[in-house]
């Protein structure tokens, strides 16, 4: 089951340094040689610790230098479990630190050092096991040499090497010095899955004790001696410029010390966040121009419709045809921790503390602003108060470094919620059309789907815009698991100018709504049961079929429902995992809908921590549900109309259904779990609304389009 091709690419390196015990890391040889691998040139040779993944200290403490940002997905715990499993470490001795910027920490599944794409376990499963196993073998060898016994007579267990015959044992901490002098085994033996004692178990998360008593440190909690607080105002029309402001008025506010220009806006600096906010109110900056001047939602919709009209529709010759138009709005990430970053720039050094998903671009932009070399910069990743893709962007880093450089003092930039809501990189709005014809058996014969949507990636890589190609726009719609003889998908790239970005589950966040609603409509037109209909279309796809049948079984699909109740079903694969969902809702006498229960089944290949998988399935579904029920970013005169949680409606506990999750361990390739349940919520709910009320909702959010919820 071990992928040899991958292993050959992995090179484990070792380093010992005074008093620090044994440290091991690995690097991906081809990446070091490639152009992208060379970008981050701070390497293991320059600083002994860089690029290393684990440290075993003489006191036995084991530190995993975690290569992923912890943003709630439990990655510090699950990656530690993989390492501790192979290392036979005492779980209580494990600590984590988030890695600095170095190409050795880059996820092999990602183009740069960032956390995203539900890729952490997928990318680090193999290398972390190898590092753990290599360290274990070195510790065993060190003990065997000390005792003068054979390696085979010793075993590793809970942080000790034990000589079984004599019952002698030595702790890892006592062995690190000797182990550090040994050669790194080139081909360490990995444990067989049936020998696992941690992987596959619902191990409690390492980060939670600090998250229930206020000691967990998020970006916004960084405190430095002499640190100032800044807040920003950016042009409400995207990419406009500052026209005027009243600096004297701002500086008359107690505690305000400076006013600093930033890209597309202005910052007020004070000795307290609230005073900076008061200073900003007094500064009263006015803006002019901008990319989206005059834009509103009707104009955006017109652009999509025009692009689709230009493509035309396919004429279908069948007694049973569907001609559908679906659409979704822009959405905000609204991470509960607003955008923030702390920077301290001196004459020759810069430190940055950022709740970021994107270490590499944080370094790049800091280099650009300061003109410093990489070894004059340290990027510290703090805990993230939510990421959801928003923190792949680095605008807040740019601002903190700019302001700190200007003042020569440590500065924490904090956005007010209003700024956060109005200067997001939004989930793209889009529109999708279908012309579907059904054959005699009721199943789709022809499936013609046209999508009009903005491109996220062209901001990163302009040529994609020239060629109208962006896999993040089309994922989840371009290829379907369903057996449809005549399938055609067409994508039109439309750019209304609103900044768009990666929003948890990205293209699947809209495409699953389109596809799984359309297939549901087809099943009803054919007068088939929506579950059985999908089953027939997935007959040749056993993994999908298992997921679908499991969720239908859990939801007792086909049972007699109470009056006013409805069930909706959906299935979708994203980020390597297949998720099925059923939701039960009811319509009360006043026509309001209540969400009762959700059943989710997931096949993510292998499972490291089932409780974390469950938590991600629950949380992702709720994230999707929140958007489906009530979230919408609208534009008027080129600016976002919403400003805070009073007008950007996020789901609360009262409206949240109960959720139960079944995990199918297929043993297939590892899939992600952070995102794949998000796309299911909107279509499952749309299909349930149809089932309960006969009303088909083709645009989101439902509560803005005629559906009321309890």
Partner 1 sequence: MQTLKINGKKYQIDVEAEMPLLWVLRDDLGLTGTKFGCGIGECGACTVHINGQAVRSCSFPVAAAVGTKITTIEGLSHHNKHPVQQAWLEEQVPQCGYCQSGQIMATAALLAKNPKPTAEEVEDNITNLCRCGTYVRVRRGISRSAELMRKQRV
Contacting residues toward partner 1, per CB under 8 A: 71-74, 204-205, 207-218, 220-221, 223, 229, 254, 271-275, 277, 333-338, 383-388, 414, 416-417, 611, 615, 618-623, 626, 644-646, 650-654, 656, 658-659
Helix 508-525 and helix 530-537: axis angle, to 10°?
A: 110
Return the CA Rg of the chain.
27
The angle subtended at Cα 114 by Cα 113 and Cα 115, nearest 5°, is: 140
Exposure string for 627-643, b = 16+ CB within 10 A, e = fewer: bbbbbbbbbeebbbbbb
Place of tokens 């794409």: 117
Instruction: Quote the CA–CA distance of 239 and 531 in Å, as a whole number.
Output: 47
Helix (H, G, I), strand (E, B), or coil: what is residue 228? Answer: strand
Residue 159 or residue 386: which is nearer to partner 1 going by CB? 386
Residue 325 or 554: the one with the smaller Cβ distance to partner 1 is: 554
Q: Which is nearer to partner 1, 382 or 492 (CB)?
A: 382
Token pair for 303: 């652009």
Least CB distance to partner 1 at residue 168 (A): 36
Helix, strand, coil shares, percent, the chain, to 5: 35, 25, 40
The two beta strands, 444-453 and 21-28, are unpaired
Tokens of 244: 């005027």
CB burial of 463-480 (b: ≥16 within 10 Å; e: otherwise) equals ebbeeeebebbbbbbbeb
Bridge partners for 453 per DSSP: 493
Distance CA 511, CA 493 (A): 15
Closest approach of Cβ 651 to partner 1, in Å? 8
Nearer to partner 1, 141 or 508 (CB): 508
The minimum distance between CB 291 and partner 1, in angstroms, equals 27
Q: Which is nearer to partner 1, 122 or 278 (by Cβ)?
A: 278
Bond prior to 197 in cis (omega within 30° of 0): no
Least Å from the CB of residue 215 to partner 1:
7
What angle (nearest 5°) sits at the alpha carbon of residue 657, between those of residues 656 and 659?
120
β-bridge mates for residue 491, sequence order: 451
Residues near 64 by Cβ (< 8 Å), separated by ≥ 6? Answer: 53, 54, 76, 79, 80, 83, 94, 95, 96, 97
Residue nearer to partner 1 on the CB measure, 356 or 455: 356
Q: How far is the CB of 115 from partner 1 (least distance, A)?
A: 13
In the complex, minimum distance from the CB of residue 383 to partner 1, in angstroms, rounded to a whole number? 7
Closer Cβ to partner 1, 253 or 688, answer by number: 253
Residues with Cβ within 8 Å of 220's Cβ and at least 6 positions away in sequence, in order, are 337, 338, 340, 355, 385, 412, 414
CA atoms 332, 336, 340, 341: torsion sign: negative
> Which residues on adjacent β-strands are paired with residue 486?
446
d(CA 50, CA 67): 12
Dihedral pair phi/psi, residue 156, rounded to 5°: -100, 135
Residue 94: strand pairing partners: 62
Question: Cα(323)–Cα(318) distance, rounded to whole angstroms?
Answer: 12
Tell the smallest beta-carbon distance from residue 282 to partner 1 (Å): 14
- Report the residue number, 211 or 708, with the smaller CB distance to partner 1: 211
Nearer to partner 1, 427 or 433 (CB): 427
Closer by beta carbon to partner 1, 208 or else 637: 208
CB of 212 to partner 1, least distance (A): 5
Judged by beta carbon, residue 222 or residue 452, the one nearer partner 1 is 222
Least Å distance, CB 396 to partner 1, is: 14
Least distance (Å) from partner 1 to the CB of residue 561? 22
User: Which of residues 217 and 459 has its CB atom nearest to partner 1 in the complex?
Assistant: 217
Min CB(70)–partner 1 separation in Å? 8
């Amino acid at each position: 089951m071990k992928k040899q091709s991958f292993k050959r690419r992995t090179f484990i390196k070792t380093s010992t340094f005074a008093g620090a015990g044994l440290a091991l890391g690995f690097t991906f040889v081809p990446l070091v040689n490639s152009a992208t691998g060379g970008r981050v040139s701070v390497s293991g040779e320059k600083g002994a610790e860089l690029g290393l993944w684990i440290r075993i200290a003489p006191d036995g403490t084991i530190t995993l230098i975690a290569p992923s940002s912890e943003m709630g997905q439990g990655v510090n715990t699950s990656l530690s479990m993989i390492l501790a499993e192979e290392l036979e470490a005492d779980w209580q001795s494990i600590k984590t630190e988030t890695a600095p910027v170095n190409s050795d920490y880059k996820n092999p599944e990602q183009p740069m050092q960032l956390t995203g794409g539900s890729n952490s376990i997928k990318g680090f499963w193999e290398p972390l096991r190898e590092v753990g196993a290599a360290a274990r073998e070195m510790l065993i060898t060190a003990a065997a040499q000390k005792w003068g016994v054979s390696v085979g007579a010793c075993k590793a267990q809970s942080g000790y090497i034990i000589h079984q015959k004599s019952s002698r044992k030595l702790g890892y901490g006592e062995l690190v010095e000797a182990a550090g002098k040994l050669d790194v085994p080139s081909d360490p033996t990995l444990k067989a899955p049936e020998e696992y004692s941690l992987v596959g178990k619902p191990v409690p998360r390492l980060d939670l004790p600090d998250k229930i008593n206020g000691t967990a440190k998020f970006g916004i909690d960084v405190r430095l001696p002499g640190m100032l607080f800044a807040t920003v105002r950016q042009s409400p029309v995207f990419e406009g410029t500052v026209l005027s402001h009243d600096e004297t008025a701002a500086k008359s506010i107690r505690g305000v010390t400076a006013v600093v220009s930033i890209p597309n806006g202005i910052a007020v600096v004070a000795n307290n966040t609230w005073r900076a906010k008061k200073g900003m109110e007094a500064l009263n900056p006015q803006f002019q121009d901008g990319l989206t001047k005059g834009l509103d939602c009707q104009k955006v919709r017109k652009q999509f419709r025009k692009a689709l009209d230009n493509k035309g529709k396919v004429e279908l010759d069948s007694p049973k045809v569907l001609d559908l138009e679906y659409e979704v709005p822009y959405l905000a990430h609204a991470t509960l921790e607003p955008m923030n970053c702390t920077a301290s720039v001196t004459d020759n050094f810069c430190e940055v503390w950022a709740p970021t998903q994107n270490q590499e671009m944080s370094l790049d932009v800091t280099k650009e602003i300061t003109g410093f070399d990489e070894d004059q910069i340290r990027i510290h990743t703090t805990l993230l108060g939510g990421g959801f893709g928003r923190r792949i962007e680095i605008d807040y880093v740019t601002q903190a470094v700019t302001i700190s450089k200007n003042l020569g003092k440590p500065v924490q930039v904090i956005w007010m919620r209003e700024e956060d809501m109005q200067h997001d990189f939004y989930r793209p709005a889009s529109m999708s059309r279908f012309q579907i014809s059904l054959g005699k058996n009721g199943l789709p014969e022809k499936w013609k789907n046209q999508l009009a949507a903005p491109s996220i990636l062209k901001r990163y890589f302009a040529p994609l815009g020239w060629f109208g190609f962006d896999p993040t726009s089309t994922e989840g719609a371009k290829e379907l698991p369903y057996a449809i003889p005549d399938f055609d998908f067409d994508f039109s790239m439309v750019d209304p100018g609103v900044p768009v970005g990666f929003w948890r589950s990205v293209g699947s966040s809209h495409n699953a709504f389109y596809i799984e609603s359309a297939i549901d409509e087809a099943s009803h037109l054919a007068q088939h049961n929506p579950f059985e209909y999908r089953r027939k279309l997935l007959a040749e796809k056993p993994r999908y079929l298992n997921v679908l049948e499991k969720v239908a079984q859990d939801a007792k699909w086909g049972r007699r429902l109470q009056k006013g109740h409805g069930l909706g079903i959906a299935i979708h694969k994203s980020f390597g995992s297949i998720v099925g969902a059923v939701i039960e809702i009811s319509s009360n006498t006043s026509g309001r809908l209540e969400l009762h229960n959700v059943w989710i089944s997931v096949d993510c290949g292998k499972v490291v921590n089932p409780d974390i998988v469950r938590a991600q399935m629950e949380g992702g579904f709720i994230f999707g549900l929140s958007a489906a029920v009530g979230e919408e970013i609208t534009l008027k005169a080129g600016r976002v109309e919403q400003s805070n949680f009073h007008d950007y409606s996020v789901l609360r506990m009262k409206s949240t259904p109960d959720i139960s999750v079944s995990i199918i361990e297929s043993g297939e390739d590892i899939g992600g779990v952070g995102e794949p349940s998000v796309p299911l919520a909107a279509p499952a709910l749309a299909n349930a609304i149809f089932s309960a009320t006969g009303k088909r909702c083709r645009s989101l959010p439902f509560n803005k389009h005629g559906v009321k919820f309890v």
